[in-house]
Amino acid sequence: MRLILTSLRARMALSFGVLFAIILISVSLIRTFGLPLTSDRGSFGDAQDLLFTQLNLLADLNKERVLFWLEERKKDAIELAESAVVASSVKRLLEPARQAANLQRPSHEIRAHLYAHVGTLIDTLDAVMKSHDIYERIQIIDTVEGLVLASTEDAEIGTYVPLHRVAPGVPAESHKATVILADSSVVGRPSLLIVHPIPDKSAAPDRGEPPVLGMVLVYVDVDRFPKPLSYRAGATGASEEVVLVDQDLRIITPLKFALPDGSQAKPLEYRNKGEPAVLAAQGQEGVATKRDYRGVTVVAAYRHIEVNPNTGWGLAVTIDQDDILSPLRRRLAYASLVSLLGVLAAAVMAAVIAGRIARPVRALSLAAKEVESGNLNARAQIVSSDDVGNLAVTFNSMIEKVRNWHDDLEAQVRQRTQRLTELNEELTREVAERTRAEEKLRQQSDFLETVLDSLAHPFCVIDAGDYGIRIANSAAMRGDMREGATCYSVTHGRTEPCSGKDHPCPLRAVRQSGKPAVVEHVHYDKEANPRSVEIHAYPIFNTDGVVAQVIEYFLDITDRRHEEKERDRLIGELEAKNAELERFTYTVSHDLKSPLITIKGFLGYLEKDMVSGNVERLRADSARIHHAVEKMARLLDELLELSRIGRIINPPEDVPLGRVVREVLDSLAGRIMERGVTIEIPEDLPVLYGDAVRLREVVENLLDNAVKFMGDQPGPRVEIGVRSGSGETVIFVKDNGSGVDPKYHEKIFGLFERLGHHTEGTGIGLAIVRRIVEVHGGRIWVESEGLGQGSTFCLTLPTRKDGNRG
Amino acid sequence: MDIIDGEPLVILLVEDNPDHAELIMRSLEEHRVANRVYHTPDGEAALDYLFQKGRYCDPASCPRPHLILLDLRLPRIDGLEVLRNIKSSAELRRIPVVALTTSESERDMAGAYNRHVNSYVVKPVDFSKFNKLMDDLGFYWLAWNRKPQGETEEKERERPPR
């Protein structure tokens, strides 16, 4: 199916066919059912209208016929009843009959009586019977008892007719004709009878209704009376039927169709309960589609026929709906057939046209298929100069281009493939090269590791972000710097990065500056000895130029630091010595030159004194010369002495300080006595250990000075003692003499420093003392509040328990 | 020797060595260089004299000198310190100071000149040279050398100390 539909021809055929079909069916439907929303109701509507009209006409006609027929019968009854002959005859018959009845006379007597007098009346009745062969019999009865006074049937004369049963609802005094349908129970068989009273016109001709003498009962022959009522022309169709029912729906005329059970319905017995009959009997009139007694849908025109003032019959003319629709169906079938033929024709035509249109397209399609299958040399045949022809031309040129592209493409593909092969080979080479490079790198890495491990100094690489140790050589690992630990935990025992307050963090410094940094830390070795460690840190940058890792290596510079300290100390000492030497030279030259100038100067004056004979001045001047010479000699001696200290050393020995002090005081006894100086010495002075001669010199100098610089102190006092403090023994010589201004506390220990021009001495004494103390590894200083406040010379010297130092 | 403006010429000699002081004063006396020579034996006394403090507080007996002969090597306060004090005093800085010392030390010389000494002479050991020097010194500084008069002059602009 799909294959067919893909063909242009088939699709066109189908499309046109469907189009035609739709048009034809639409036309046909419009013709049949009319245009919607317009008054055009189509042939079906027309036919329906016609049918309704026909049915109405038929119904009206039949109704008229029934009414007319009934009127005729009534007229007959009226004629008889109002005939004067009849009235007189009845009157005549009535009187003796009533009397006989009242006298309870036997019926045969009454009948005989009636027979005797009924002769003329029966003749009249017979005449009526003979003029209308539709009557079965005619009776005249007494209204009081229902006694039959006269009858066309002789046997009935003298019998009684129960009037209330024959014509229920008919008043005895009624002056109008009444049509009555009586079933078989009344008169032996179903009957239609017309009843009319016989008025006694002679009795009261002027005042209202005349009294009733009796009743005329005209019985219609049952076999005959339906005939005039059952007109069956079949004008509208084979199924057309006219039904007539009384007020109780009993059929009056026989039915055209058998009942559903196959039996024939009997008039005046079967009740027709079809809707048209019921409606008509109830007094309604119209045309409608209803179900009839068979249950068949019919179109019915129904009419009500009023036969008596209070009773009416129903009449319906029906025709089966199927009967009506059949012509319509025929027309529809015909229209369908025509439509089908039209569709076929349209399809065939469409196919032919489509074939003609499609031929160049198909050629194009074939060419395209061939191109598709790879034949780029295929071309569409150009068969026309219309749009399709243009299309073919375009197609051909397009294929030409495609072929060109295709050729280009193939060339490009060949070129690319070639390039790809080259690249592949290059890649293979690169891979091999890389493998070699990796091998080389690995070797280098191993080499580097060996080199790092060979380093005696700890070396490690630390991550700049998390302070984690990434690489550590074996020296570093010995110091617990294992890979994965953090630098701060290992070197400073911290749980978080260092604040940098106690130690400058080399990692932080490098990270901030991006430059190598060298910092010095104090680390503690396993024996908790402080070690000075110099940390060299170098940055390793990542590709963003950010410091990612930091190389650190640690140099234990404790020894170097120690040496440096020692060197600095030595340098300091040397500088001090140099300065001292310079000062020494300077002062020596100055102090040695001074006496020379004195000597030479006064020698000059000596000559003048001699010339002038000034003996006094000559003596004084020569004394000055002597004095200067002596001073010079003493200077030279002391200088020699000073130069010996530290060079010429007596072997160290125990020197009891107490004994030395006493000996010195003995030697100074004269001066002490002269100045009246009080000396205080404690019992337990320590035993010093060192050069006994030199130590004695120290004591001598200090005590001599103490006594010498008493100033004008009235109660001079010198105290020698020992005080302990800050872990060392300090020997002191305290006086209450002239004191030393704090600004000269250091100066007084210098060479040739004298505080007063009037003081004796060369200015070498304290220099010698300091030199000796220093040579023994001790210190000396002075404590004094100032001039006049006395002074305390303190010194530390090795005691016996200190061992053999110095 | 003349008296400048009728004022007696005064020399302050600062010398700790009494023998040297005697020699200098005797020499000055012989050459009649000055009307008066005052001698102080140490730096402290020299400054007290110059600033007229302590026992030198009487201006009449302790006149302001026209020349100061200053030994550098002095007890208590040495000559360079005395020199610094003189030269940083607005009243005294115009008094010529001649360093008269035995020291030929480069350091002392530089120190003295750095403290604006006006002249630096080393005491000759030879007696005649010593006498000649004293004569020349007095003559040069008190006769040849001219100096601004008294208090009428404008204040010199202070030079920042080196």
Asked if B111 contacts B73 with a C-beta cutoff of 8 angstroms, the reply is no
- A-facing residues of B in 51-70 (CB < 8 A) are none
- CA-nearest of A781, A721, A702 to A745 is A781
- DSSP string of A447-511? HHHHHHHH-SS-EEEEETTT-BEEEE-HHHHHTT--TTSBHHHHHH--SS---SSSS--HHHHHH
Residue A618: strand, helix, or coil: helix
Nearest Cβ partner for A628 among B19, B75, B124: B19
CB-based contact (8 Å) between B19 and chain A?
yes
Asked if A282 contacts A20 with a C-beta cutoff of 8 angstroms, the reply is no
Nearest residue on chain A to B21, alpha-carbon basis: A598
- CA-nearest of A103, A126, A123, A100 to A113 is A100
Among A82-96, A421-435, A602-616, A748-762, the range with the most confident prediction by mean pLDDT is A421-435
Nearest residue on chain B to A587, alpha-carbon basis: B103
CB-based contact (8 Å) between B40 and chain A?
no
CA A793 to chain centre: 94
Asked if A317 contacts A241 with a C-beta cutoff of 8 angstroms, the reply is yes
Asked if A598 contacts B21 with a C-beta cutoff of 8 angstroms, the reply is no
B123 contacts in chain A (CB < 8 Å): 593, 597
Tell me whether residues A601 and B105 touch, CB distance under 8 A.
Answer: no
Higher model confidence: residue A68 or residue A800? A68
Label residue A186 by pLDDT band (50, 70, 90).
low
Asked if A274 contacts A347 with a C-beta cutoff of 8 angstroms, the reply is no
CB-based contact (8 Å) between B75 and chain A?
yes
Tell me whether residues A594 and B17 touch, CB distance under 8 A.
Answer: yes
- Whole-model pTM: value is 0.41
Interface probe for B, chosen from A589, A594, A740, A753 (most Cβ of B below 10 Å), is A594
Both tokens assigned to A552: 């650190």
> What gap in Å lies between CA B82 and CA B70, rounded to an integer?
9
* Residue A482: Cβ within 10 Å count: 12
CB-based contact (8 Å) between B73 and chain A?
yes
Asked if A13 contacts A347 with a C-beta cutoff of 8 angstroms, the reply is yes
CB-based contact (8 Å) between A743 and chain B?
no
- DSSP string of A522-583? EEE-TT--EEEEEEEEEEEE-TTS-EEEEEEEEEE-HHHHHHHHHHHHHHHHHHHHHHHHHH
- Strand ordering across the sheet containing A791-795: A678-680, A717-725, A728-735, A791-795, A780-783
Nearest residue on chain B to A753, alpha-carbon basis: B75
User: What rounded mean pLDDT belongs to chain B?
Assistant: 83
Q: Is the pLDDT score of A376 beyond 90?
A: no
Q: Is the pLDDT score of A510 beyond 70?
A: yes
Nearest residue on chain B to A742, alpha-carbon basis: B76
Q: Is the pLDDT score of A805 beyond 50?
A: no
pLDDT in the model for residue A804: 42
CB-based contact (8 Å) between B90 and chain A?
no
> What gap in Å lies between CA A244 and CA A272, rounded to an integer?
9
- B-facing residues of A in 625-664 (CB < 8 A) are 627-628
Asked if A222 contacts A187 with a C-beta cutoff of 8 angstroms, the reply is no
CA dihedral for A457, A463, A465, A468, sign (positive or negative): negative
CA distance A734 to chain B (A): 22
Q: Any bridge partners for residue A553, and if so which? A: A459, A536
Label residue A729 by pLDDT band (50, 70, 90).
confident
* Residue A239: Cβ within 10 Å count: 19
Q: Cα A233–A238–A240 angle (5° rounding)? A: 60
Interface probe for B, chosen from A587, A590, A611 (most Cβ of B below 10 Å), is A590
> What gap in Å lies between CA A312 and CA A290, rounded to an integer?
21
User: Any residues with CB less than 8 A from the CB of A99 and at least 6 apart, and which?
Assistant: none
CB-based contact (8 Å) between B20 and chain A?
yes
Nearest residue on chain A to B106, alpha-carbon basis: A586
> What gap in Å lies between CA A444 and CA A450, rounded to an integer?
10
pLDDT in the model for residue A748: 80
Both tokens assigned to B57: 């507080």
Note the maximum CA span of chain B. 44
Cβ–Cβ pairs < 8 A, chains A and B:
72
Q: Is the pLDDT score of A792 beyond 80?
A: yes
Tell me whether residues B23 and A756 touch, CB distance under 8 A.
Answer: no
Nearest Cβ partner for B41 among A595, A600, A757: A757
Tell me whether residues A755 and B105 touch, CB distance under 8 A.
Answer: no
Pairing of strands B36-40, A178-182: unpaired
Label residue A753 by pLDDT band (50, 70, 90).
low
Tell me whether residues B42 and A596 touch, CB distance under 8 A.
Answer: no
Nearest Cβ partner for A590 among B102, B107, B128: B102
Nearest Cβ partner for B76 among A602, A624, A755: A755
The helix (run of H) or strand (run of E) holding residue A225 is none
Q: What are φ and ψ of residue A242, in 5° steps?
A: -115, 120
Interface probe for B, chosen from A597, A611, A747 (most Cβ of B below 10 Å), is A597
Asked if A293 contacts A316 with a C-beta cutoff of 8 angstroms, the reply is no
Interface probe for A, chosen from B125, B129, B134, B135 (most Cβ of A below 10 Å), is B125
* Residue A28: Cβ within 10 Å count: 18
Tell me whether residues A601 and B17 touch, CB distance under 8 A.
Answer: no
Q: Is A148 exposed, middle or buried (0-12, 13-18, 19+ CB in 10 A)?
A: buried
Both tokens assigned to A408: 């280009």
Tell me whether residues B22 and A755 touch, CB distance under 8 A.
Answer: no
pLDDT in the model for residue B88: 92
B23 contacts in chain A (CB < 8 Å): 597-598, 601-602, 605
Asked if A744 contacts A759 with a C-beta cutoff of 8 angstroms, the reply is no
Tell me whether residues A589 and B102 touch, CB distance under 8 A.
Answer: yes
> What gap in Å lies between CA A8 and CA A288, rounded to an integer?
54
Scored b (16 or more CB within 10 A) or e, B15-47 reads bbbebbbbbbbbbbeebebbeebbbbbbbbbbb
CA distance B28 to chain A (A): 13
Q: What are B25-38's pLDDT values in tens digits?
A: 988 888 877 778 89
Both tokens assigned to A789: 């406040």
Query: How much is the average pLDDT of A672-695?
Result: 86
- At residue B17, what is the residue type? N
Percent of chain B with pLDDT over 70: 87
The helix (run of H) or strand (run of E) holding residue A268 is none
> What gap in Å lies between CA A254 and CA A145, rounded to an integer?
35
Label residue A641 by pLDDT band (50, 70, 90).
confident
Q: What are φ and ψ of residue B38, in 5° steps?
A: -100, 140
CA A192 to chain centre: 95
CB-based contact (8 Å) between A590 and chain B?
yes
Residue B75: strand, helix, or coil: coil
Nearest residue on chain B to A620, alpha-carbon basis: B19
Q: Is the pLDDT score of A12 beyond 50?
A: yes
Higher model confidence: residue B20 or residue A383? B20
- CA-nearest of B59, B83, B75 to B17 is B75
> What gap in Å lies between CA A371 and CA A393, rounded to an integer?
15
Label residue A167 by pLDDT band (50, 70, 90).
low
Label residue A231 by pLDDT band (50, 70, 90).
low
